[in-house]
Structure 1
Amino acid sequence: VNTRRNLLIQNKRVGKSMEKLSSGLRINRAADDAAGMTIAENLRAQVIGLSRAVANSQDAISLMQTAEGALGEQHNVLQRMRYLAIQSANGTLTSRDRKALQDEVFQLIDELNRIAKTTSFNSINLLNGNVGALVSSDDPNKVSGIIVGNVGSGGTFSVAINAVGLGKLQVQNSQTFVTVTEAGEPLDASANTQLQSISRLQDFGVFAGGKDSVTLTLSSNVDNKIAQVQVFATDTLGELAHKISLAINDPDTTTDLGLASGKSDGAALVSISKVGLAPAGGSVGATSLMVTTPEPGSTVVFGGEPSLLTAFGFNQIQAPVQPVFSLTVIDIGEGKIATKNARVFGGRAGNLIRGVDISFRTTLDISISGSQVDSVGAYNISKIVPNSLPGPDGFVIQVSPRPLSFQIGPNHGNFINTQIGDMTAKSLGIEGLNISDQLLAQESIKPIDTAIDLVSAQRSTLGAVQNRLESTIANLSVANENLSASESQIRDLDFSEEMINFTSAQILNNSGTRFLAQANALSNNVLTLLQ
């Protein structure tokens, strides 16, 4: 019985050794090493997680490279736009030349928007703001938020805007218009005088060669719209004034410049002025066109037929001055962000909401009076007044972050976040870029430089994150190697040691088998004696 018991023990030892040698594992079941199995499984989970985290980081780098490549092409587009703006700012070009340059700018702006809206990785749009933040306003036609950086935790904000400095309107005046009687005497033109009868237009051959019409264009530094006015030889001076006024602001069309859509009824944008040659108060005499740009700080420039521009000879008698606005931003969500106040020139304010610029039109809290006037030299121009509602205009802007989150570790919380801003032309501040005039082309260089800086900042952020991910991959690979070795040390079999155990168990098993046979033989000998 003792021999049989020992033989069974050795049979189990041989079976376990053969199981370990055939699988190559020291722990094949929990009974082999309960504590060791627990430790090994924990290490195995870490190793599997590290392997996946390395793959995640590599995928994240691919995404970053996709976005960075698209931003690099946007840089090329912006550099081309800057080149065209500098070219257009040169005095050797005609208005037709600048019109051709502006046409290319239109195409480049469209290309910027196409890149921003179509660049994607695994169907995730990268440059349209979807992986940065969502910004909404309760009145987007008046106030909007533009993502320019990391918005942090976002929030809901009350924005109060109040005009504290009304600025000045641009006022331009043409040369004086006269006709010549049959007797050769000059006679001041009037609203009913046909353009073909005005001596300046005759002197510069505006309608020479049988032309019955020419084109006058208007553009502004507010937008890149170009409004066209068809000027006929038979138009009266009054009809021309009306056409120019509608080109500046016509609520019934979208082909106008769209300036000051909220202007007061009755405010004259283009008038036929009759003033004396002396300062204000002189006798009524010389006739000219006076054009008022209905947004303070904004500029309207004329282009088109060169002879017509020369005949008009518009001269700026009052330069535009940007209005000053006071903005107050209050966190009405969680209330954790301190109230901020700022004064800004123009219609865009930064550093009041993290990662978001507040954009608004300069006519938000300002209107043009239809009855009150200011005197500029010998001329009376429409007066800028605060809007009819007392106090600031109030709005609500909500910012909701939507960062890209990359799981770069094997455990909960092992992730990094990054944001890619809205890279459309609107967010870059060049949606309305206008180089159709020499002055506007000079002014357009600055917003292009700002856009280049924004794209550079975003590319730098992506590059920094990519470098971090590459360091993360190196660190994860080292951790994966070490943890794999640790798991192997616990779980995997030491073949040399186990062969010794197997050989020992096999020898004892063979020996036990032989002695059990001897024990059985002894029993048979006893039976032989009984026969």
Structure 2
Amino acid sequence: MRINHNISAMNAYRMLTLNNSNVAKSLEKLSSGLRINRAGDDAAGLAISEKMRGQIRGLDMAVKNAQDGISLIQTAEGALNETHAILQRMRELAVQSANDTNTVEDRQQLQKEIDQLAQELGRIGNTTEFNTQKLLNGTFNGIFHIGANQNQNLSVSINDMRGFALGMVSGVTYQLTGTLDKGTNTAQDIKDGTYTVAFNSATNKYELKDVNGTVVATSTDGKTYNGSGNDDSITFSDSVISGTVTISGSGATVTGTATVTNSGLEAGVYTYDTSTKKLKNASGEVVGTSTDDKTFTDLNGNTLFTLGAAVTSNTTFTIGGIDISTQTAANAAITSIDNAIEKVSTERAKLGAYQNRLEHTINNLGTASENLSAAESRIRDTDMAKEMMEFTKNSILAQAAQAMLAQANQVPQGVLQLLR
């Protein structure tokens, strides 16, 4: 018998330490609910679990991304619903104006509503936003990230749905000065006064009529008006095809409302300051510039319109809605508005298809996240019933080892019997 080394006690102590460690681990797993609390618990399982967690959280965020995408689409589509309503009203007005029971004055009033509706098309297109991003002015071309990994995305673009893109605006009109040429006559045949410009579809000419409705001059292009039966003629740098022409001071001053091709401006009133070279809209926002007071470009350098001659003073430019001021124009406008309605319908259908697709995407992402969560749980989470069984076993073993350690410590006491 030896007393310097109690091998039985050492063995019992080692087993007690091991069992206490196992009890502590079981308590940690039971209290945290996790089978893997540190890499030492299962190194490979930890790596797999963390990879799955990245996928699960990515899928959950992709669901949110898709939901935000649907919200953006719904915002754009809701605005286009009102665009459709405006176009339907414009078509109604065009059909009404195409009927010759209307007088010139009647059509002028109809044209006023068309002009306001065209301005609203531009306003809707310029102000419809989602999270400060404009949706209907043709600049939105976004990517919705609808997956957990790189390049799992969907590209969405929305076409320009404003009045100009839909063909619902007219040319650029402004007041300009022309010249009266008396030809070989010493007398002025086209007298001073105010004249009305109107298009005659029968002769295919623009006519200059006095207050009595008498035609005093005609033009094929709106730039040069030749007097009826005399040598007088009026020349403008741009086409004067609507509005009025005023002659005063024995022909020294001739003014008219000219129209030039509109290449990008929405309906509304614009002012140009020759000193600053800036073109501003009714809200005072700079929408264009000019270096020569003749050609006007937007802030990206695209040409908006070009005049026949440079303006020499501050000028107001007006852009109305699609022309329904005559029977011929109103009749043609019906087809143009039908085309615009079709464009908006196509765009709304496209957005609706995107929305339906994203709804299916959300369902798929949710299912994938659920299945991955189940797989990750099997790796990372504690089986509470099984672990409780292990805890009970380890707890009993620890108590048994403690009892045996006490017994082992009593063994050396037998040596005293030999020493008596």
- Settle same-fold status: TM greater than 0.5: yes
Seq. identity, %: 46
Letter in 2 for 1:216: T
Alignment match of 2:226 (pick from 271, 287, 299) = 271
Aligned-partner SS, 1:216: strand
Cross-structure match for 1:471: 360
Residue number in structure 1 paired with 2:120: 111
Instruction: Select 1:488's aligned residue among 374, 377, 381.
Output: 377
1:82 aligns with 2:91: yes
Seen in structure 2, the aligned counterparts of structure 1 residues 12 and 132 have a Cα distance that, compared at 3 Å, is: closer
- Pairing partner for 1:522 from 397, 403, 411: 411
Partner of 1:339: none
How far did residue 480 of structure 1 move? Answer: 0.8
Q: Note closer, same or farther for the CA distance 1:232–1:273 as it changes in structure 2 (3 Å cut).
A: closer
C-alpha contact (below 8 Å) 1:435/1:444 kept by paired residues: yes
**C-alpha contact (below 8 Å) 2:190/2:232 kept by paired residues:** no
**Given that residues 95 and 303 in structure 1 are in contact (C-alpha distance below 8 angstroms), is that contact kept between their aligned partners in structure 2?**
no
Q: 2:196 is aligned with what amino acid? A: L
**What is the aligned counterpart of 2:18 among 1, 9, 12?**
9
CA distance in 2, matches of 1:116, 1:489: 52
Q: How far apart in 2 are the matches of 1:62 and 1:114?
A: 21
Cα distance change on mapping 1:507 and 1:108 into 2, 3 Å: same
Q: Which of 34, 38, 44 is the equivalent residue of 1:25?
A: 34
Q: How does 1:281-360 map onto structure 2 within 5 Å?
A: 300=241
Is the partner of 2:81 in helix, strand or coil? helix
| Offset of residue 228 of structure 1 | 12
Corresponding residue for residue 99 of structure 1: 108
- Change over 3 Å in CA distance of 1:190–1:472 after alignment to 2: farther
CA distance in 2, matches of 1:127, 1:439: 31
Distance, in Å, in 1 between the alignment partners of 2:133 and 2:242 is 42
TM-aligned CA distance change 1:194 to 1:463, over 3 Å: closer
Q: Secondary structure of 1:271's match?
A: strand
Distance of 2:131 and 2:189 partners within structure 1: 66
Would the alpha carbon gap of residues 460 and 191 (structure 1) be closer, same or farther in structure 2, given more than 3 Å must change? farther
1:124 to 133, 145, 169: 133
Q: 1:447 to 1:495 in 2, by over 3 A?
A: same
Distance 1:220 1:525 in 2: 136
Which residue number in structure 2 is paired with residue 369 of structure 1? none
Deviation at 1:215, TM superposition (A): 5.6
Q: Does structure 2 retain, via aligned residues, the 8 Å contact 1:293–1:300?
A: no
Q: Distance in 1 between matches of 2:20 and 2:199?
A: 99
> Residues 393-412 of structure 1: matches in 2 within 5 Å?
none
Separation (CA, whole Å) in 1 of partners of 2:45 and 2:54: 14
The CA distance in 2 between the partners of 1:63 and 1:460, in whole Å, is: 15
Cα pair 1:220 1:440 within 8 Å, conserved: no
Secondary structure of the structure 1 residue equivalent to 2:226: strand
CA distance in 1, matches of 2:54, 2:355: 26
Residue 498, structure 1, aligned to residue 387, structure 2: yes
Greater relative contact order structure (CA < 8 Å, 6+ sep): 1
Instruction: Give, in angstroms, the shift of residue 192 of structure 1.
Output: 3.5
Q: Name the aligned partner's letter for residue 121 of structure 2.
A: L
Which amino acid is the alignment partner of residue 494 of structure 1?
A: D
Q: Secondary structure at the match of 1:523?
A: helix
Aligned to 2:345: 456
Query: Is the 8 Å Cα contact of residues 136 and 159 (structure 2) preserved in structure 1?
Result: no
Unaligned 5+ runs, structure 2: 1-9, 143-156, 161-184, 246-260, 265-299, 301-318
Residues 67-124 of structure 1: CA distance to partner in whole angstroms, max 9, x if unpaired? Answer: 0000110000011101000100011001111000100011001100000000001111
* Counterpart amino acid of residue 379 in structure 2: I
**Amino acid aligned to 2:117:** L
The match for 1:59 among 46, 68, 85 is 68
Contact 2:158–2:347, Cα closer than 8 Å, also in 1? no
CA-CA distance at 1:523 after TM superposition: 2.5
Residues 453-506 of structure 1, C-alpha deviation per residue, up to 9 Å, x if partnerless?
Answer: 111111111111111100100100110110110111111111111111111100
Residues 1:438 and 2:393 aligned together: no
SS at match of 1:493: coil
Partners of 1:75 and 1:190 lie apart in 2 by 58
- Decide whether the 8 Å contact of 2:137 with 2:159 is kept in 1: no
* 1:207-286 aligned within 5 A: 216-218=196-198, 231=210, 241=217, 269-274=224-229
Q: Identify the match of residue 507 of structure 1 among 384, 396, 405.
A: 396
- Structure 1 counterpart SS, 2:37: coil
What's the secondary structure of 1:436's corresponding residue? coil
CA distance in 1, matches of 2:115, 2:19: 89
Secondary structure of the corresponding residue to residue 14 of structure 1: helix
Number of residue equivalences: 300
Show the counterpart of 1:204.
none
Q: Secondary structure at the match of 2:227?
A: strand
* Distance in 2 between residues matched to 1:21 and 1:148, nearest whole Å: 54
Structure 2 counterpart SS, 1:37: helix
State how 1:161-200 maps to structure 2 within 5 Å: 192-193=188-189
- 1:462 aligned partner, one-letter code: L
**Could you tell me whether the CA contact under 8 Å between 1:293 and 1:299 is conserved in 2?**
yes
The code of the aligned residue for 1:509 comes to A
Matched residue, 1:328: none
